[in-house]
Chains A and B, each alone.
Chain A
Amino acid sequence: MALIYDSLTLVVVVTVVLITLIVVRSQVTAGRSGKALAFVALFVLPMLVTSLGVAAHLEHSKTTEFCLSCHVMEPYGESLWVDEVDYVAANHFQNNRIPRDRACFTCHTTYTMYGDLQAKLQGLKHVWVNYLGTVPETLELYQPYNNRECLNCHRGGRRFEEDELHLEVRAELETNETSCLECHASIHDVAHVGELAKWEQNDAE
């Protein structure tokens, strides 16, 4: 991402230099090539930077760092380090079952055609509530957690598919008649996260 940001910044610098040249020395634009240069500097490059910038922002909004930059999300970030194997979010995060730099997005996007877009629109709503509304004391999902998000990765996995308990409810898991969270109930547990022991990663490992 840093390379993309640096590249975009370089394009911005080049564009601003070109615009300054065109404004200070307007006679440069007298010829056909000068007009083309003005069109590139005042239309093409700004449009390019804006389009790529939107894409870069949207991509960055998938990062764990981005999600946890809001104060209200801090306990959820803390829950990723809980030293308990039964804690689903922590287990997935600590064992690299989800990309650590996209931990929140991986489980909280919907794996549908417009899942990303929907997640972004909800994100804008969250920003609105954060600044202009009242943040509820207990954050809740808009809808019950859909098994689809779990099965997106676990479906077809040997350990998952051959597990006897899973086999008993396998069809029901597909239709959400039985929720994965009925058994795997410890997710973030933010109410108690402060009291729980945390895993301290040894970077030398």
Chain B
Amino acid sequence: MPNEPGLPRWRSLTRAGVLISAGLVVQAVTLYWSHPTAFLVFIGLGGSLVAAGIVLYLWGLLVGTSDAAKP
């Protein structure tokens, strides 16, 4: 797959996408589970996956931008 200049690398974009998607699915499932544990899973698992994905995406943006800025 191509690595577009100025964009996060495709691999980190893919990883970020998978992490965020997985986190969001976990979060959506917990919404239909009426139990105190659901909130812990929402934050602990879902929130962590989403946060990791977002960090990876933002990191990819920074790295991609700095790579593109190199002569």
Contacts and interface: CB of A to CB of B under 8 A. Distances in A.
Whether chain B is bound by chain A comes out as: yes
Interface of A: 5, 8-9, 12, 15-16, 19-20, 22-23, 26-27, 29-30, 35, 38, 42-43, 46-47, 49-50, 53-54, 56-58, 60-61, 63, 65-66, 69-70, 123-124, 126-127, 130
A8 B28 contact: yes
Nearest to B60: A42
Residue with the greatest number of chain A CB neighbours at <10 A, chosen from B10, B39, B50: B39
- Interface SS, A side: helix
Q: Which 5 A-B pairs have the closest CB atoms?
A: A19-B17, A23-B17, A12-B28, A42-B57, A5-B31
B27 A69 contact: no
Nearest to B3: A26
B42 A53 contact: yes
A30 B7 CA distance: 7
A165 B64 CA distance: 75
Contacts of A5: 31-32
Contacts of B13: 22-23, 26, 29, 38, 42
Interface of B: 1-2, 4, 7, 10, 13-14, 16-18, 20-21, 23-25, 27-28, 30-32, 34-40, 42-43, 46-47, 50, 53-54, 57-58
Contact of B36 (A9, A23, A50, A66): A66
Contacts of A15: 20-21, 24
Contact of A19 (B21, B32, B38, B42): B21
B43 to A, nearest CB: 7
